[in-house]
């Protein structure tokens, strides 16, 4: 892996924390939307390439449009999308845009049904007052984000990431485990 998008992982973690706080405040619908944003960022970390300030804390990214287009084409071929162009917010498209070897090593393939189920939470649930908005919420997406984030951070650490967020997250998890 040539770059380690720690800033993206930290953003995904922030949305997870926001989702947990919102859920605890009995705002499950808003929590689910935040979890969807966090998951989107996490999946995008695998198909992003640095475009500015590479190697600095201000590194920014753009999506690998070829990986996104290939995932979209795959979903069209198996009848799982009718869209003419790739949706950069669709969790299932982002899931399939990730390299398959990484999906396997993170055990994400076992969660494909969940990515499909929640694929459009962000785009179709942001505005509850719209007729296409989800009429329910559940904590599964938040749990999936928590599990996936831990696996992704571990993966980046194994790949040699020395990003401060990755190292701090690993240390925090180890401290929590030791305290139990």
pLDDT digits 0-9 by tens, 20-45: 999 999 999 999 999 999 999 999 99
Rounded to whole angstroms, the Cα distance separating 39 from 143 reads: 11
Give the pLDDT confidence score for residue 56 in this predicted structure: 73
The H or E element containing residue 60 is strand 60-63
Which secondary-structure segment (H or E) carries 149? helix 140-158
pLDDT tens digits along 157-173: 999 999 899 999 989 88
* 4-8, 42-46, 55-59, range with the lowest pLDDT: 55-59
Q: How many residues does the chain have?
A: 180
> For residues 140 and 114, is the Cβ–Cβ distance under 8 A?
yes
Contact 79, 73 (CB under 8 A): no
Tell me what the mean pLDDT of segment 6-21 comes to: 95
pTM check: above 0.95: no
Where does residue 18 rank: exposed (0-12), middle (13-18), buried (19+ CB within 10 A)? middle
Averaged pLDDT of the chain: 91
Residue 17 pLDDT exceeds 80: yes
Contact present, 33 and 124 (Cβ < 8 Å): no
């Amino acid at each position: 892996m040539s770059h380690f998008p720690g800033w993206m992982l930290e953003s995904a973690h922030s949305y997870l924390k926001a989702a947990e706080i919102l859920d605890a405040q009995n705002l499950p619908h808003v929590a689910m939307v935040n979890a969807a944003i966090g998951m989107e960022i996490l999946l995008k970390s695998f198909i992003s390439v640095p475009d500015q300030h590479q190697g600095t804390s201000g590194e920014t990214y753009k999506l690998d449009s070829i990986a996104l287009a290939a995932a979209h084409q795959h979903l069209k071929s198996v009848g799982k999308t009718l869209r003419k162009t790739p949706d950069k917010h669709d969790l299932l498209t982002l899931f399939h845009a990730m390299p398959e070897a990484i999906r396997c090593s993170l055990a994400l393939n076992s969660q494909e049904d969940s990515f499909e189920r929640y694929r459009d939470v962000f785009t179709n649930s942001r505005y509850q007052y719209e007729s296409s908005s989800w009429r329910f919420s559940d904590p599964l997406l938040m749990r999936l984000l928590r599990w996936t984030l831990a696996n992704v951070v571990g993966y980046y650490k194994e790949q040699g990431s020395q990003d401060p967020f990755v190292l701090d997250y690993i240390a925090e998890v180890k401290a929590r485990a030791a305290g139990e």
